[in-house]
Amino acid sequence: MNIAANLKVFKTGPGALVAPSDMLSEIVRGDCLSENDPRQWVPLGDDNYSLPLCLNASEGYWVHLLRATKPGVINRHRHSAPVHLMTFEGHWHYPEKDWVAGPGTYVFEPPGDIHTLCVPEGGAVMVFMANVRGALLYVDEAGTLSGYDDVFTRIDACRRHYTAVGLGADYVRRFIR
């Protein structure tokens, strides 16, 4: 078997890099903490924004930064699959739980968990990174389903927003794998 025949060369000379020819391209965002272009942030309701990092249609997950600009309830939801969260700024909590996440707090949310994402009063801007697999199932107090988000609704929301702000419908494609 000739592995070399199935590699593509990204760079020649010293430090040459080779990879399988069918490998997907990497995603690099250097502007995650930059305020240079607010159009990058996709509105989630009135006071919250999402910055897409990786919208993975092939495996059904998305990775994004969530930024909340005001205290309050963001939403109540149930997870169909696990979530990993890392907090960078501000604080957030679930009234259903006895802890508060702050800068440096990592959280694993197991499939089936139901909770209400809240930013406490007096808090500053809150930013966390989330890797969300499967779907967020929005539920009311009685646990009745009122809506959902998955990687496909997130891609649609990004596409609508980037079209509306002039970046174009195809802008979101750079984050899709």
Interface contacts to Fe ion, rule CB under 5 A: 109
| Of residues 40 and 48, the one with the C-beta less far from Fe ion | 48
- Could you tell me the smallest distance in angstroms from the CB atom of residue 124 to Fe ion? 21
- Could you tell me the smallest distance in angstroms from the CB atom of residue 157 to Fe ion? 18
| Of residues 77 and 161, the one with the C-beta less far from Fe ion | 77
H or E, element range at 19 = strand 17-20
Query: Measured between alpha carbons, how far is 75 from 106 in angstroms, rounded to an integer?
Result: 20
Q: Please, what's the b/e burial string for 25-49 (b: 16 or more CB within 10 A of its CB; e: otherwise)?
A: eeeeeeeeeeeeeeebbbebeeebb
State the CB neighbour count (10 A cutoff) for residue 15.
6
| Of residues 93 and 159, the one with the C-beta less far from Fe ion | 93
| Of residues 62 and 162, the one with the C-beta less far from Fe ion | 62
- Could you tell me the smallest distance in angstroms from the CB atom of residue 61 to Fe ion? 13
- Could you tell me the smallest distance in angstroms from the CB atom of residue 113 to Fe ion? 7
> In 3-state terms, what secondary structure has residue 169?
helix
Query: Measured between alpha carbons, how far is 160 from 175 in angstroms, rounded to an integer?
Result: 15
- Could you tell me the smallest distance in angstroms from the CB atom of residue 16 to Fe ion? 43
Nearest residue (beta carbon) to Fe ion: 109
H or E, element range at 89 = strand 83-89
| Of residues 109 and 149, the one with the C-beta less far from Fe ion | 109
In angstroms, the Cα distances linking 30 to 35, 82, 101 are 12, 26, 25
